[in-house]
Chain A
Amino acid sequence: MSAAGNLNAKINLRHASVLLVESNQHAVDTLAQIMTGLGVGEVHRAMSAEEADNIVRNKSVDLIIIEPSLRDSDGFAFIKELRLSRREPACSVPVIIISSLVHPSDVSRARDTGANFVVAKPITPNILIQRVLWIGRDKRPFVDVGHYVGPDRRFKVEGPPPNMNGRRSTDVDSRLGDASAPNMSQNEIDGFIRPQRVSLD
């Protein structure tokens, strides 16, 4: 099974406009090739937060894919400023962060800037299309609490969607295997859940 799930499902990105922000020309070109291949109609490229900001202010953008460790600027700060600008529709555009070093502190920082997803490099078409599809299914509301604007950060990690393979070492297969032990008897179940009186001597 592909990480992207149902391979026969249709995806229509012909009218989508995507902003790609990477640290160097080759990386942004590679990303553009992937997105164009996936059927994205319009691709904008930037290599600094300033260029990205200029594009967001002057063009219609439906998705931002950004490497936060830019050579001359800070991608995290760009996302946070975009969210806090409260300029609709740009402030609520979906943002995917792609990063080569994903420490827990980086993920926390990405979450607190208002990114929708954080994806560890290397990036492949399969991974990107999967995240785009996840954005389409993401039911999280946005919250505005003054210093934070972005997807609600309070959600339960439920692993990858059914029939998709996770990339994390802690992801488990959603398919149930055969039972490895006999079923519990009713007495065992009752003993498991029934409150018991305990006497302390």
Chain B
Amino acid sequence: MRTFRPATRLVRIMAEPGGISVAQALKQADHALESTREGCLAEIDLKVEQVVELAAAGLSETKLAAIRQRAGEIFGEAGAAGLTELSAAAHSLSRLLSAGFGSPAAIAVHVDAVRALRRPELSGDQAARAEVLRQLRNVVDRLQAA
């Protein structure tokens, strides 16, 4: 076994004088992220439609893997954009598929939940979004118990 300490360039760069404060960096990054929000919503809509198409004509292992991939992408992108409940709904589908509960009903109920959470009238209603998520969890519990 050989043990060594590589000269990591990143560490050296970070130690260079100058730079910006962590607070300023976070502010800039949040601002940059905010500028992607509209594109993020459009991307989520597109991926939801891809899930619907994939689930439309029978489910195979390949299709389930593709649906899981899209659900994971929606989870990550919605979460980064601050769409917490929408992200949680997509994560629920991703986890359900990973656990082997890949039925058309499970996919359909998650698609409905994501579409509901995506509606503009719910964007300012945190209680309504939480209720959608609660109902989704109830359905998921029933699906897993069946």
- Point out residues on A near B: beta carbons under 8 Å: 2, 4-16, 23-24, 26-27, 29-30, 33-39, 60, 62-63, 67, 69, 71, 88-89, 92-94, 98, 100-101, 103, 121-126, 128-129, 132-133, 135-136, 141-145, 152
Q: Is the CB of B2 within 8 A of A143?
A: yes
Known contacts: A37-B32, A100-B94, A123-B80. The answer to whether A144 contacts B1 by CB under 8 A is yes
Q: Is the CB of B79 within 8 A of A122?
A: yes
- Chain B residues contacting A36 (CB-CB under 8 Å) are 29, 32
Does B31 have its Cβ within 8 Å of any Cβ on chain A? yes
- Chain B residues contacting A35 (CB-CB under 8 Å) are 29
Q: Is the CB of B20 within 8 A of A2?
A: no
- B: interface residue count bin: 35 or more
> Shortest distance in angstroms between B10's beta carbon and chain A's nearest beta carbon?
4
Kindly identify, within residues 69 to 107 of chain B, every residue whose CB is under 8 Å from any CB belonging to chain A: 69, 72-73, 75-81, 87, 91, 94-95, 98
Q: Is the CB of B76 within 8 A of A9?
A: no
- Chain A residues contacting B76 (CB-CB under 8 Å) are 27, 67, 98, 100, 121-123
Q: Is the CB of B13 within 8 A of A141?
A: no
Q: Is the CB of B73 within 8 A of A37?
A: no
Q: Is the CB of A14 within 8 A of B18?
A: yes
Q: Which of B34-42, B56-64, B122-130 contacts A (4 or more CB under 8 A)?
A: B34-42
Q: Once bound together, how far apart are the Cα atoms of A33 and B94, in whole Å?
A: 25
Known contacts: A39-B28, A136-B10, A141-B4. The answer to whether A10 contacts B19 by CB under 8 A is yes
7 other contacts beyond A7-B21, A14-B16, A122-B87, with CB at 8 A cut-off? A5-B22, A12-B19, A62-B13, A133-B22, A141-B3, A143-B3, A144-B2
Q: Enumerate 10 A-B pairs (CB-CB under 8 Å) in ascending A order.
A: A14-B13, A14-B18, A30-B40, A33-B36, A37-B32, A39-B25, A62-B13, A100-B76, A132-B10, A142-B3
- Chain A residues contacting B3 (CB-CB under 8 Å) are 141-144, 152
